[in-house]
Amino acid sequence: MHEDKPSKTAFRVALRRAAHQVLDAPRVFEDPLALAIVGAESEALRSDSKSRSRMSRVLRAFLVVRSRYAEDGLARAVESGTRQYVVLGAGLDTFAYRNPYPGLRVFEVDHSATQGWKRRRLEAAGISIPESMMFAPVDFESQTLADGLALAGFQMDQKAFFSWLGVVPYLTRSAVMETFRFAGSLPAGSEIVSITPSLPNP
């Protein structure tokens, strides 16, 4: 991650989530905003032969299954009373803009450069930012997650559900452990889904 540039990995992941919507059957992860947030690049997905290769299908399956797993876990957490959802390394994740749970507050945590880029993508796609969603700009290597979330209005005395998909390999051990310690310090019932890829960099 460069200070003035968004994450290339975030875009590649979003492109594969979008490709899943048009190339795969059955679909295991429904994301009606995936194509819109990717933008003009989505036009080439149907005819791109590379997207139909075995490696692309395997990688795409891994990426969408982990998103489905996290959102299924969130659904169970909401049923048990959780009202805060934190997406760590949110990239171009679209959950906050299709959130079906009244009363659930969503905090998107990412580098400020990636968040600025995402805002531009949302505007270009005509996707509005709901009042239930807060951006929390955090550089995991130089800031604490606790401080970043507090500035965004996160309630430390309430339980939360965290998703942390594919970010860990890009961080130092100390940043990873500090993030886990913070999640573990929250009230009982808080949960974190962290899935680290063993496949090549998307």
CA 52/CA 92 separation, integer angstroms: 22
Peptide bond into 26 cis (omega under 30): yes
Cross-strand bridge partners of residue 163: 87, 193
Determine the residue type at 116.
G
Q: Which two tokens stand for residue 52?
A: 């139909």
> Which residue has 């606790």 as its token pair?
146
Give the CA count within 13 Å in the CB-facing half-sphere of 100: 9
Residues in the chain: 202
Question: Minimal CA–CA distance to 185: which of 158, 166, 167, 164?
Answer: 158
For each of the chain's 202 residues, which pLDDT tens digit applies? 455 556 788 888 999 999 999 888 899 999 999 999 998 776 666 666 666 788 888 889 999 999 999 999 999 999 999 999 999 999 999 999 999 999 999 999 999 999 999 999 999 999 999 999 999 999 988 899 999 999 999 999 999 999 999 888 889 999 999 999 999 999 999 999 998 765 444 4
User: In this predicted structure, what is the pLDDT of residue 141?
Assistant: 87
CA 108/CA 20 separation, integer angstroms: 23
If one looks up domain 8-195 in CATH, what number appears? 3.40.50.150
